[in-house]
Amino acid sequence: MEIKYEYSRKRSEFGRPCSFSDFLAEVTADIPPDPSLADDFIAQDPVDFAVQEGPVMALHEVNTERVQVSVRGVNHVEGGWPKHVDPKNSELTTRYREEVEREEVYTKTVQRLGSLVEHYIRQNNTIDIYEEYFEEEEEDEEEEEHPSAKTINVLRDLQTDLCWSPQRDPNAIRRMVTHLSWHPDANRAVAVAYCSLDFQDSRKDMNSDSYVWDLEKPYTPELTLKPSSPVVTLEYNSKDWYHMLGGCYNGQIVYWDTRKGGLPVEMTPVEFSHRDPVYGACWLPSRTGTECLSGSTDGQVLWWDIRKLSQPSEKLILDITREDQLNKALGAISLDFAPVLPTKFLVGTEQGIIVSCNRDAKTPPEKIANIFRSHIGAVYTVTRNPFFPKVFLSVGDWTARIWTEELMDSSSIMETKYHTAYLLDVCWSPVKPAVFFTARSDGVLDVWDFLFHQKEPSLSLKMSNDPLLSVRSQDNGQIVGCGTKTGSVSLLEISPGLCTLRKNEKTLTSTMFEREMRREKVLQEKYRERQLREQEKKKAQPEEKEDPQEVFKQAQADFFSNIKAEQRRR
């Protein structure tokens, strides 16, 4: 059984022509001038524009036949032969014909040789005739013979390849560049966090905005981020490029969706946020890509989900005594999380201690896995090696130190020399496992390559007269960004020698780390043996009570004797 329904329509309704008619003009709106608005009119200053415009010319070529034209009894020859060929001069004509013949012979010879070469290449297609068998040995010989020449070339390339002029804070009151974050999509933009970290800095009209700069348009920001409090740290989400995470000076966590503009989508309540500025914030690898982690100098590490920022999902108190007491907690000033180790993260504290934490532990005290007593002052930055995640780098006081998690409660396996200026930031090269960049308080950027030199930096470049507070490298290692205390950002293009991975470089770096780790183990065992021997001696000797006055007199005599010896030496 078939059910049919027919729709009918009048034939006159199909293709009905449009009817046009002429009528007189009408006034739809009439707004007369209002003299009272003349006072509100702001006259724009005259601006002169210089415009250069010229006619667009095109090149035309015409090959005409030989034509003889007679004008007032004078014969003219136009077109056809070249100017230097005179048909009446047989010598020039013969020379021109010989040149043309030689060109034809040369062209035919090249074509014939090309067919022969193509034939031999097809015949020997199983052999790579362009293979270089001794490339690595030649490179090693050149490096051993001329190490200084490569350093000079690197210096020249870095000095001449300043690809972005220093861009300052657009506001009248200059603020510090506290953090840089590169856009995950081919590093086409960089997010810069501007904040004044000076104690009780209450200057009037201080702006709290941060900016996203496009590398192709360095003079105007691509996006202006407007938080409720100045942003100390900014991070792009590697999974969702449009999401940005920020840690504010008042302790709040905010996130932006750059597709919706510069206003925050959501922020944490003040009562559930940190009590101090958020110096570290990073995204966590998850299925949804919405989980994040934050650390502050109030001694807490908080886990968040941007889908519900009303309260933290988890909390950790950095109490190394493992009593879980907030009044004994260490203040977190730096934070690092590597996606290859999804349950572990590192925290650098104000007290110079690095805390290695494990999120999968059952109780909060067990989450503090290991403690590294690293620097005299605050640990400004701690970051894992992108090739060897168990090896991490820290910077504080006057040195940068390299550590390994395989040695518990030990000193660093490698370190730089002591500088006269403070080191404020550091970052690994993402393409070379032994290269890292350090930012100093005297405005100098140091490039270290531990495979090349361990006592001195491979390159030192004066970037600014102001302290360098932040340094970050692109994912390809070709451009490094530096931020100063006065709000300027400079980008440097690195030479190929510092951003190209050589053969066996990863293996050599691994061997170097293992060698230093074994050396540190031997020194640690010898130190423990010496401590045991000293304890046994103390137990064997009877206890003798020393007179404090005699100890004081002996110390005083030693002190003055040292002073006199120094005076005699001088």
Helices (H), 501-547: 505-540
CATH of the domain at 435: 2.130.10.10
Report d(CA 527, CA 156) in Å as an integer: 46
Report d(CA 347, CA 394) in Å as an integer: 10
Centroid of chain to Cα 14? 66
Report d(CA 51, CA 223) in Å as an integer: 30
C-alpha angle 554/555/559, rounded to 5°?
A: 120
Regions of the chain with pLDDT less than 50: 66-80, 83, 133-166
Report d(CA 512, CA 433) in Å as an integer: 11
Q: Within a domain: residue 370?
A: yes
pLDDT of 149: 27
Query: Cα torsion at 11, 12, 18, 19 (round to 10°)?
Result: 170
The answer to whether 329 and 321 are in contact (CB under 8 A) is no
Radius of gyration of the chain (CA): 37
Q: Within a domain: residue 334?
A: yes
pLDDT of 17: 67
pLDDT of 437: 92
The strand pairing partners of 402, in sequence order, are 393, 414
Q: Is the dihedral of CA 151, 153, 156, 162 positive or negative?
A: negative
H or E, element range at 290: none
283-287 contacts at long range (C-beta below 8 A, 24 or more positions apart): 283/235, 283/237, 283/238, 283/239, 283/245, 284/337, 284/342, 285/239, 285/339, 285/342
What SS3 state is found at 332?
A: strand
- Dump the DSSP string for 122-169: HHTTTS-TT--SSHHHHHHHHHHH-HHHHHHHHHHHHHH---EEEE--
- Give residue for tokens 């931020």: 483
Report d(CA 480, CA 468) in Å as an integer: 13
The answer to whether 238 and 184 are in contact (CB under 8 A) is yes
Q: Within a domain: residue 454?
A: yes
Q: Within a domain: residue 187?
A: yes
pLDDT of 82: 52
pLDDT of 73: 39
Bridge pairing between strands 210-214 and 435-440: unpaired
Report d(CA 312, CA 310) in Å as an integer: 7
Q: Within a domain: residue 544?
A: no
H or E, element range at 318: none
Q: Measured in Å, how far apart are the chain's first and last C-alpha atoms? A: 121
For residue 390, what are its two tokens?
A: 């168990």
pLDDT of 80: 47
Task: State pLDDT tens for residues 47-81.
Answer: 676 776 677 776 666 665 544 444 333 444 444 45
pLDDT of 137: 45
pLDDT of 86: 56
Q: Within a domain: residue 268?
A: yes
The answer to whether 403 and 412 are in contact (CB under 8 A) is yes
pLDDT of 128: 57
pLDDT of 129: 54
Q: Characterize 505-519 residue by residue with b for buried, 16 or more Cβ atoms within 10 angstroms of its Cβ, and e for exposed.
A: beeebeebbeebbee
- Name the residue range of residue 299's domain: 149-503
H or E, element range at 238: none
- Give residue for tokens 């005299």: 376
**Looking at this protein, which amino acid is placed at residue 40?**
D
Structural domain total, the chain: 1
pLDDT of 377: 83
Report d(CA 20, CA 41) in Å as an integer: 44
C-alpha angle 119/120/126, rounded to 5°?
A: 115
C-alpha angle 130/132/134, rounded to 5°?
A: 165
Secondary structure (H, E, C), 20-73: CCCCCCCCCCCCCCCHHHHHHCCCCCCCCCCCCCCCCCCCCCCCCCCEEEEECC
Q: Within a domain: residue 205?
A: yes
The answer to whether 323 and 365 are in contact (CB under 8 A) is yes
Report d(CA 346, CA 366) in Å as an integer: 15
The answer to whether 394 and 401 are in contact (CB under 8 A) is yes
Q: Within a domain: residue 238?
A: yes
What SS3 state is found at 401?
A: strand
Report d(CA 317, CA 239) in Å as an integer: 29
Q: Give this prediction's pTM.
A: 0.64
Centroid of chain to Cα 431? 12
